[in-house]
Amino acid sequence: MTDFFSADPGIPRILIVDDEPMIRDLLEQALGKTGHDCSFAENGKTALKELALASFDVVVTDIDMPGMDGIELSKIIKIDFSADIIVMTGQIRSYQYDEIITLGASDFVEKPFSPREMVLRVDRVIRERRLRQIAAKAHEELRESYIDSIHRLVMAAEYKDEDTGDHIVRIGKYCSLMADKLDLPREFIDTIYYAAPMHDIGKIGIPDIILLKPGMLTHIEFETIKTHTQIGARLLSRSKSKILQMAHEIALTHHEKFNGKGYPYQLGGTGIPISGRIVAIADTFDALTSKRPYKEPYPPDLVLDILKKERGEQFDPDILDMFVDNFDTFLDIRGNIGIFEGKSLQDFILSERDKSGI
């Protein structure tokens, strides 16, 4: 067997599985001459050992073999390995083409076959495999570029009164973990990770003199800050992207309260989208534990006490209970990203704006 770690990654690696030495020799000669790196196994169990030790592009397997047959082997490869599968059989009446393809095979070859036919079949499967890999890489690069653009836009809105980009990174981590703990679907977990950091993007439309004010806000100033929810929603509206659709939902509803006394629409209970209810807790937790122009970071014990008092008032009780049960985990995230300068309770002094509750 060729050492996987020394093999040229550009050379197609083929595993041939057949209990007939003549077939193995025939395929070795045909595929070896055309630049393929071939390994061999006489049955399914041996093939699995080879697959565990090395990475293959294509597995060419017979169906009728002693012990584990090619059908069972193909099912296992489909689940546990990334190789494409070409199935060979002389029992064409026992197996239909569509049945074999349904198992996950990329092609089906009837014995007897010509060596040239097998080379052409293998090359076609490899060519399609490489095209899939190129397409997947291009898709991932496009996705990364898309997410990077979103983060840069969010940072443009946040940098004035947040701790650079750390806040938006933490919000994504808090919210995806909360969604996971709530057993929400994987798609939701992944989407909220990217959507939640855009919750305050509407602050880009709020004057700096208000955002950066160290003292108490006037009623008019507070009403002005509240408009960031609707500004953000307008910026994120009418997108076909699922991430931006959820971001729109979050931007608009993360300041709504479970008791119906939030803003901008005084939604209440489960009338608030779950994405907004999740971000409300995550954003409050991060704001309380962060230094802002108008406040010092709160100590963890005080943060926990404040959150508990808002159970059923500002926050969804069930989501808050989950957050409280995992409070140390969220504190770990808070401490590992950026600087957490929380003081002890005895050393902590509320600012005038803290005392006002605004």
Residues 125 and 165 grouped into a single domain: no
| Weakest-pLDDT range from 68-72, 148-152, 188-192, 203-207 | 148-152
Residue 101 has pLDDT above 60, yes or no: yes
Mean pLDDT throughout 214-226? 89
Predicted confidence at residue 6, as pLDDT, reads 36
Predicted confidence at residue 313, as pLDDT, reads 97
Q: 92 or 217: which carries more pLDDT confidence? A: 217
Predicted confidence at residue 3, as pLDDT, reads 40
Predicted confidence at residue 5, as pLDDT, reads 37
Q: How is 293-336 classified by DSSP, letter by letter?
A: TTBPPPPHHHHHHHHHHTBTTTB-HHHHHHHHHTHHHHHHHHHH
- What's the rounded Cα separation, in Å, for the pair 302 and 345? 7
Residue 15 has pLDDT above 80, yes or no: yes
- Asked if residue 294 belongs to a domain, the reply is yes
Residues 108 and 47 grouped into a single domain: yes
Residue 149 has pLDDT above 80, yes or no: no
- What's the rounded Cα separation, in Å, for the pair 253 and 217? 22
Q: 16 or 111: which carries more pLDDT confidence? A: 16
Round to the nearest angstrom and report the end-to-end CA distance of the chain: 70
- What's the rounded Cα separation, in Å, for the pair 29 and 355? 83
Residues 67 and 204 grouped into a single domain: no
Predicted confidence at residue 259, as pLDDT, reads 97
The CATH number of whichever domain residue 17 belongs to comes to 3.40.50.2300
| Weakest-pLDDT range from 98-112, 160-174, 226-240, 255-269 | 160-174
270 DSSP 8-state letter: G
Residues 65 and 173 grouped into a single domain: no
Query: What SS3 string covers 86-140?
Result: EEEECCCCCCCHHHHHHCCCCEEEECCCCHHHHHHHHHHHHHHHHHHHHHHHHHH
Number of domains, the chain:
2
- Asked if residue 256 belongs to a domain, the reply is yes
Look up residue 132 and give its two tokens: 């899939």
Predicted confidence at residue 165, as pLDDT, reads 65
Mean pLDDT throughout 34-58? 93
Return the percent helix, strand and coil in the chain, to nearest 5: 60, 10, 35
Which of the listed residues 87, 116, 133 is the one where a domain comes to its end? 133
Mean pLDDT throughout 176-181? 98
Residues 223 and 351 grouped into a single domain: yes
Predicted confidence at residue 308, as pLDDT, reads 96
At 89, give phi and psi (nearest 5°).
Answer: -160, 150
- What's the rounded Cα separation, in Å, for the pair 225 and 210? 8
Give the chain's mean pLDDT: 86
- What's the rounded Cα separation, in Å, for the pair 28 and 126? 17
Question: Residue 256 sits in which domain range?
Answer: 159-356
292 DSSP 8-state letter: B
- Asked if residue 142 belongs to a domain, the reply is no
Predicted confidence at residue 271, as pLDDT, reads 97
| Weakest-pLDDT range from 49-63, 141-155, 192-206 | 141-155
Confidence of residue 30 (pLDDT cuts 50, 70, 90): very high
Predicted confidence at residue 126, as pLDDT, reads 93
| Weakest-pLDDT range from 200-209, 304-313, 347-356 | 347-356
Residue 182 has pLDDT above 80, yes or no: yes
Which of the listed residues 96, 118, 133 is the one where a domain comes to its end? 133
Confidence of residue 167 (pLDDT cuts 50, 70, 90): confident
Residue 22 has pLDDT above 60, yes or no: yes
- Asked if residue 237 belongs to a domain, the reply is yes
- What's the rounded Cα separation, in Å, for the pair 195 and 147? 10
Residues 127 and 170 grouped into a single domain: no
Residues 203 and 344 grouped into a single domain: yes
Look up residue 157 and give its two tokens: 């809105």
Residues 11 and 123 grouped into a single domain: yes
Nearest to 278 by CA among 358, 163, 161, 191: 191
The neighbour count for residue 15, using CB atoms within 10 Å, is 26
Mean pLDDT throughout 258-270? 97
Predicted confidence at residue 48, as pLDDT, reads 96
Q: Buried (b) or exposed (e) across 112-132, using 16+ Cβ within 10 A?
A: ebeeeebbebbbebbeebeee
Residue 197 has pLDDT above 60, yes or no: yes
Residues 248 and 306 grouped into a single domain: yes
- What's the rounded Cα separation, in Å, for the pair 177 and 325? 13
At 100, give phi and psi (nearest 5°).
Answer: -65, -45
Mean pLDDT throughout 59-87? 91
Q: 10 or 14: which carries more pLDDT confidence? A: 14
Nearest to 343 by CA among 310, 295, 306, 308: 295
Predicted confidence at residue 266, as pLDDT, reads 97
Can you name the residues that pair with 267 across neighbouring β-strands?
none
- What's the rounded Cα separation, in Å, for the pair 270 and 287? 24
Mean pLDDT throughout 73-97? 82
Model confidence pLDDT, tens digit, residues 266-315: 999 999 999 999 999 999 999 888 887 777 788 899 999 999 999 999 99
